[in-house]
Structure 1
Amino acid sequence: MHLPEGSGPTVWAVFFVVVFLRAQATYWIARAVTQQALDHTAPTHGFALKVHAWLDGTSARRGLDSLRRWGALAVPLSFLTIGAQTVVNAGAGVIRMPAWRYTLVMLPGCAAWALVWTTIGISAFYAAIGAGLSTEWGVVAAVIVVLAAGLGIGLLRRRARRTA
């Protein structure tokens, strides 16, 4: 992929805004859900029960443990990991970290995430896709992955409808 000369800062800014909005949304949703779900309800079924279970689950506990162990430093560091970013940002909302502090420590993480994804991240992604899809077996594997993902989503939806 070739970008026009000088477009790097613009692309970085777009990625920064995207991750900023995503992280803020994760924080505020987790904070609002925690306030409402844990403080004002005692669900026995449905979506609210699933929210309670997630807030009490392993992933949420890991995010909370990271925030407790590393404090506010866990927030920007989570942007450099795979799988921890959403959990830590949600954990900050769950423990009701002050919004000004959360935003302040989130900004360097957003900047680092945007830098990684607009430089080596996108390059690595395109290299992996290019290498994998340049052979017949790579195309077959890609088709199998897409079909398996579609089947998995269909099965999860069916199970959710049966249990609801």
Structure 2
Amino acid sequence: MPGSKLMGDFLDSGPFIWVFLFLLFVVFCRAQATYWLGYFIASKLTSNVPQDGWRRKLYNWSESEAVINGIGTLHRRGWIIIPLSFLTVGFQTIIQLAAGLTRMAPPKYTLAMFPGCIAWAIIYSTIGFSVWNALLATFAGSPAGVATLIGLIILIIVLVWLRKRAQEKLINE
């Protein structure tokens, strides 16, 4: 895709300030969207639990162990966990959703998340993508590397599928 090549070139060698501002905009929008998704679930779906469809899947996800743990962490640690979550992978989404599910006041949430957005944008506009690209280049540089990468992806998919299946089995028992 020509567009993704241009984006990759921009992120790799664009002027720092523009890369930083672009990534800040992206992470700000993503965090706000995740927060408002949680807020929507808390205000609409918990009072009228959907029976099926995408709303039910969304509701079920909001009731998952990971999200419940995220809400617990937010309650135990307070708002400070919001900017700190931007220094993690995966946990960040759970905390942003948890802030919405707990119906944290939007101005308070935005003030808490903004330093995390800045830290995330700094990391990814400096070393983040360089490390990612170096890993990809290492794996893609040889047939054995490509095979290893494909194997890791398959392993992750299988492990996620097995975990989900085990959770569903526990719920049905």
TM-score, reference length from structure 2:
0.77
Q: Which runs of 5 or more residues in structure 1 are unaligned?
A: 156-164
Q: Shift of residue 54 of structure 1?
A: 1.9
Query: What's the counterpart of residue 98 of structure 1?
Result: 105
Residue of structure 2 aligned with 1:135, choices 137, 142, 145: 142
CA distance in 1, matches of 2:81, 2:68: 14
Match of 1:61 in 2: 68
Are residues 1:24 and 2:27 paired? no
Candidates 67, 77, 84, aligned match of 2:91: 84
Q: Distance in 1 between matches of 2:71 and 2:91?
A: 11
- Equivalents in 2 of 1:43, 1:14: separation in Å? 37
In the alignment, the residues of structure 2 paired with residue 45 and residue 3 of structure 1 have an alpha-carbon distance, to the nearest angstrom, of 46
Number of residue pairs matched by the alignment:
148
Partner of 2:167: none
- SS of aligned partner of 1:92: helix
- The CA distance in 2 between the partners of 1:25 and 1:43, in whole Å, is 21
What are the equivalent positions in structure 2 for 1:64-75 lying under 5 Å apart? Answer: 64-75=71-82
The one-letter code matched in structure 1 to 2:27 is V
Percentage identity across paired residues of the two chains: 33
- Measure, in 1, the Cα distance between the counterparts of 2:60 and 2:150: 34
The yes-or-no answer on 1:47 pairing with 2:54 is yes
- Larger deviation: 116-125 or 99-108? 116-125
Ranges in structure 2 where 5+ consecutive residues have no aligned partner:
1-8, 162-173
CA shift, 1:69, in A, is 1.0
Cα RMSD after superposing both structures: 2.3
The 2-side partners of 1:49 and 1:62 are apart by: 20
Equivalent residue for 1:3, pick from 1, 9, 13: 13
TM-superposed CA distance for 1:127, in Å, is 1.0
